[in-house]
Structure 1
């Protein structure tokens, strides 16, 4: 999610390959049993400030795109864009002007409030729909021990783009494997109801591998090659991000349909086990 200029070209090629998708169910290992952090979103108003902070587009003078040429302005503590409601977290994108952007949305983060090295991270969510949507559930390093992106890594638990509505992708970025080089490690699965039903998006991460699941079906696996931090920077703390981007290099590859707004992502819960 962080920077995907050449990522768009790789994804277009991947769409043409049926082999890109894994259709077989794979048993979940489930080595992580102890619940160490969770949010069930049973409150009202803004998300729990003890668990969530905000990435905002404040101070972005021209394009509020976080390196991806996205079109939204991520707001700060605005219940129009993020709130707890009916036992759910709601992230909502609107067609409205703010600053230099024509759209608003939210990007909430657990940085320094929920940071983990290894474990099972699972998020039950229902996605927005429509051309131009780019929802993501993902992780970034809290301490950036090995330097700025992509040196310290990125874990994309779930990404979807609205013009490709039946597909979810799971991706790893490192210094050796990343979107700037077109070498990121990506695989995906097909579902027909991503915007009408809830699915559980999760990873199981230890010192040897990261496995990505959708409803306990294996989506991707990235193994520690033992060749060092350029290929495996995942021996440090990471935190969670949840957001809806609008447009951008990948999400906006086929434009944005302004008739679809507002669009919402619903999150039933976030649970972390170790």
Structure 2
């Protein structure tokens, strides 16, 4: 999403202003039936398994809510709240981020956006989440990372790693992207991957990046579908992915990546997150 200049913090908290016309798509691959899990080369350093009583909010020790309805720089239609109606545990080990059609604070939709800023920030490693995605025109879920130096350098200087974003009207496509100075918004470095044999809203899938010095790769169910290095950047652009980033989970309604919902979009829509885990390379 593009920057919002209303507040310094909001100026950089943006999800993926991707230009649909610029999206690249791989040849469709079937969905794996047994997603590969990290091997012995990885050591778990942070996790949230979302265990708890149904209706309780995500852990305040791990997550912070972004609250507001200004469009988030992307012309989004929802007001993001800290209410359990929009973000809560289901009692079965999942986090539910729920987009609802309702009048709230001058907006016609509500949803939630949570992050680990000030709670957990990390450099390099494997960041993964097991997620069942929502579906429907104008529904825009994302799992992404943003540089923890955001307040000091602003966006896109801080760097943004979009592990997963998805258009609800195209449920067999997943996109991974990288945003930095000279390659942000619609000019990001990204790849849109098509799957066959099912739709991503029909079951859980594991979305991950493996982030190393000078290399980032994107994986769906343990299979790499995109990889980039500083050599892929535009001439003169800088690689800004060598410092801590924090995690963000959200579901947007509308916005310049997906367009608005229409009469075919069924509400409420939920992104169901089984876990989020972060690993470092084992020594």
TM-score, normalized by the shorter chain, greater than 0.5: yes
Q: Which residue of 2 aligns with 1:272?
A: 278
Deviations 1:138-161 (A, max 9, x none): 111111387211122110000001
**Residue 169 in structure 1 maps to residue 175 in structure 2:** yes
The match for 1:209 among 207, 215, 233 is 215
Displacement after TM superposition at 1:96 (Å):
0.5
In structure 2, the CA distance between the partners of 1:105 and 1:3, relative to structure 1 (3 Å rule), is closer
By how many angstroms is 1:29 displaced? 8.8
Q: Which residue is 1:36 aligned to?
A: 45
Match of 2:22 among 3, 10, 13: 10
Structure 2 counterpart of 1:81: 86
User: Conserved in 1, the CA contact under 8 Å of 2:136 and 2:264?
Assistant: no
Counterpart of 1:135? 141
**Gapped regions of structure 1 (runs ≥ 5):** none
Q: How many residues align structurally?
A: 258
Matched, 1:188 2:192: yes
The whole-number CA distance in structure 1 between the counterparts of 2:17 and 2:217 is 25
Q: Give, in angstroms, the shift of residue 229 of structure 1.
A: 9.4
Seen in structure 2, the aligned counterparts of structure 1 residues 38 and 229 have a Cα distance that, compared at 3 Å, is: farther
SS of 2:150's equivalent in the other structure is coil
Mapped partners of 2:236, 2:115: distance in 1: 24
Q: CA deviation at 1:162?
A: 1.3
Cα pair distance change 1:208/1:92, threshold 3 Å: same
| Deviation of 1:101 (Å) | 1.0
2:22 alignment partner, SS class: helix
Higher mean Cα deviation, 136-145 or 255-264? 255-264
Contact 1:203 1:212 in 2 (8 A): yes
**Do 1:130 and 1:257's aligned partners in 2 also have CA atoms closer than 8 Å?**
no
SS in 2 for 1:260: coil
Contact persistence 1:8–1:249 (CA under 8 A): no
Q: Deviations over 1:75-96 (max 9, x none)?
A: 02x1100011111000000000
C-alpha distance 171-28 of structure 1, shift in aligned 2 (>3 A): farther
- Residues 225 and 231, structure 1, Cα contact 8 Å, conserved in 2: no
The equivalent residue for 1:46 is: 57
Cα deviation for residue 9 of structure 1 reads 3.6
Contact 1:126 1:266 in 2 (8 A): yes
TM-score by length of 1: 0.86
> SS of the counterpart of 1:116?
coil
What is aligned with 1:246? 253
Following superposition, the deviation at residue 5 of structure 1 comes to 5.4
Unaligned runs of 5+ in 2: 2-13
Q: Can you list the C-alpha shifts for 1:31-83, whole angstroms capped at 9, x where unaligned?
A: 851110001011121101100011110xx5xxx2110000000002x110001
